Structure 1
Amino acid sequence: MMKIAIISDTHDNLATLNKAIAWINRNDIQKIIHCGDIASFETLQELSGLYAGEIQLVFGNMDDDYSLSETLKSHPLANVIAHRKIGIINIDDRRIAFTHFPRLAEDLAKSEKYDIVFYGHTHKPWEEKSDGTWLVNSGNLAGQFYKPSFATYDTATDQLELKVLENL
């Protein structure tokens, strides 16, 4: 049984990142999935320093994934597991995929291989369930176009919640 936080599109906004991670740390979240667009290695270092648990990460279009992945190779962060475009994990018999890109997320959901697929990029919180697969965008932490938000997922209850930062 695990509680997971899903964050995306941080875009170097350290103020909102700090607020989200403070809430995550207070609420027994055991893992973070980041769906890309962190934007810089320094922001990833900040995230890694603020949160002691495991961070699963995919790269977004603003991450210059070659540069960020090369920096991670030469300066590894112990609690960060980085994937290129798609991350796949199994938790409590739940098959979870995550990516930054909406079309790739839709393809992953249509494959019917996963129980839940998380994605980012649009900054807009969204969820739909289709053919047994949940497709979820947690919004964005940068506060661009929409209010800063993230999501939580509880594998014990199969409950998904959107967390809008200004309401925490």
Structure 2
Amino acid sequence: MIKINKDELLIGLIGDTHVPSRASKIPSNIIEDFKNKNIDYLFHLGDFTNYKVYKNLQETFGKDKVIGVLGNMDNHKLKEILPERLEFNLYGHKIFMTHGMGGPNIIIKRLNKRFNLSKYDIIIFGHVHRPYNERWRDGRLYLSPGTPTDKHFTDINSYGYMKISKEEIEPEIIYL
């Protein structure tokens, strides 16, 4: 799935894009920022909403570079190809990636109850439209890029990055 061929990776983080239901497209300044920073991978945390959004991201960044999970608002075609969750290792860090479920105040509790996250170092999720960068809560990093396109459940739009190596994990939220 993810190839590690250098000392660190820069991963772009985005989710809850809701195109075209709540926005006509992912803002071009975000796509350009990802390109300018030469991201190694793009993680999408679900709610693409439309298959074309997924395909356009693959065309822009490369088919093997876009890693996505299924959101609760994703269409039938996405349901056929995207997993509900992903579990993998990067540089020895155990990572869990899912869209999520529940409101902003209970999502972490719900994720822990449903998936028993105690064995993971990094939990990356979407759904709540709010950015999270809670470093080492319960010994883990809980990370969500928020939404770049929708004001439902949030006052501010955002996306993010995660620089990861064997020695460190550097998450960053970019506010729009």
When structure 1 is superposed on structure 2, of 2-11 and 49-58 the one drifting more is 49-58
Number of residue pairs the alignment of both structures matches: 153
Partner of 1:126: 132
- Name structure 1 gaps, 5 residues minimum: 73-81
Partner of 1:160: 171
Change (3 A) 1:108 1:116: farther
Identity of aligned residues (%): 24
Instruction: Pick one of 5, 8, 28 that aligns with 1:18.
Output: 28
Instruction: Pick one of 16, 35, 47 that aligns with 2:45.
Output: 35
Instruction: Write the letter of the residue equivalent to 2:71.
Output: G
How many Å apart are 1:109 and its aligned residue?
7.8
Partner of 2:56: 46
CA distance in structure 2 between the aligned counterparts of 1:112 and 1:127, rounded to whole angstroms: 18
Do the aligned residues in 2 keep the contact of 1:3 with 1:153 (CA within 8 Å)?
yes
List per-residue Cα deviations over 1:26-50 (Å, max 9, x = no partner).
1021011111000001111221122
TM-score normalised by L of structure 2: 0.77
Partner of 1:100: 99
TM-score normalised by L of structure 1: 0.80
How many Å apart are 1:159 and its aligned residue?
0.9
CA distance in structure 2 between the aligned counterparts of 1:10 and 1:61, rounded to whole angstroms: 12
CA distance in structure 2 between the aligned counterparts of 1:133 and 1:148, rounded to whole angstroms: 24
Change (3 A) 1:152 1:105: farther
Do the aligned residues in 2 keep the contact of 1:17 with 1:47 (CA within 8 Å)?
no
Trace 1:142-157 onto structure 2 (pairs within 5 A).
142-144=149-151, 145-156=154-165, 157=168
Do the aligned residues in 2 keep the contact of 1:8 with 1:120 (CA within 8 Å)?
yes
